[in-house]
Amino acid sequence: MNKPSKTALALSALLFAASSLFAQIEDKKGIVAKGAELVKVQDGFSFTEGPAINRMGDVFFTDQPNDKIYRWNSNSNQITLFKEGAGRSNGLYFQLDGTLIAAADLNNELWEIDQNTGEGKVIVSSFRGKKLNGPNDVWVRPKGGLYFTDPLYPRDYWEGIRGKEAEQDGKHVYFLSADRTELFRVAEDLTQPNGIVGTPDGKTLYVADIGAKKTWKYDIQEDGYLTNKTLFCEMGSDGMTIDERGNLYLTGNGVTVFDKSGEQIAHIPVPENWTANVCFGALDRKTLFITAMGSVYTLKMKYRGVW
């Protein structure tokens, strides 16, 4: 048997380091699968965002500056282009019928996209006759209807489309009814609402106010309105997800996990300047899929994510 050269050994080490990243994960409650390591699936994107899981466990995510949506196949671990020209989509979420909802801020709209054909359709273009600030993240309620955040992040590509001054009177959270006939505000007192996710029973909504460095918890009413605003934790978030134990996963500096009482129980370092968003992928919903700068990562978890 030929002995491998030093060059071959060095290359092998580099490839291993590139695909499997050992990090000092803080995990007080054992939520990460035993022996699991953070794995870089692919890099070379501009800025990844908005991961959303479909029924088959595949994750769709955006490369927002390049105006593309990609699909990660949970079985092959391969990433393929799903849609080009996606309205500069940011946050994504699947409805139960398989329709993909996209926060598309090229023209400050909310879209629905056919998962099979990739055909997009605008479902929200304005509020009270004025442009939205730029929908950012979205969560679909199990009973129907959806919530989305509308912060303001001025984009270079708005030049020539409209000015960078907001037409709305603030940065709010909105509810759109299942039949698309009602659109109204449900939170009007936040600084910069961003990440948003709800519980699988449809009773509780979490909204991250990244501008105020806080995450709030609300009770969801049958008509879509929110009540009982309660401080959940002293941390904002870009994107968020939740697992079957009610643990909430916040992003920014890696992934920080809080239990349902608001106590921090884990921190997952990610070797990027910013971690934008996170969701659970794969058919068993036990793979944490992380979008961070120009890369996407996975980490095996002990508990399932909810959808």
Protein fold of 47-247: Neuraminidase (2.120.10)
What integer best gives the mean pLDDT of the chain?
Answer: 91
SS3 letters across 56-121: CCCEEEEEHHHCEEEEECCCCCCEEEEEECCCCEEEEEECCCCCEEEEECCCCEEEEECCCCCCEE
Domain boundaries, the chain: 47-247
| pLDDT tier at 160, thresholds 50, 70, 90 | low
Over residues 36-61, the mean pLDDT reads 97
User: Using one digit for the tens of pLDDT, what is the confidence trace for 180-238?
Assistant: 999 999 999 999 999 999 999 999 999 999 999 999 999 999 999 999 999 999 999 99
3-state DSSP call for residue 17? helix
44: phi then psi, degrees, rounded to nearest 5:
95, 0
- Give the phi and the psi of residue 79 in degrees, each rounded to 5: -115, 130
Q: Are 174 and 148 in contact (CB under 8 A)?
A: yes
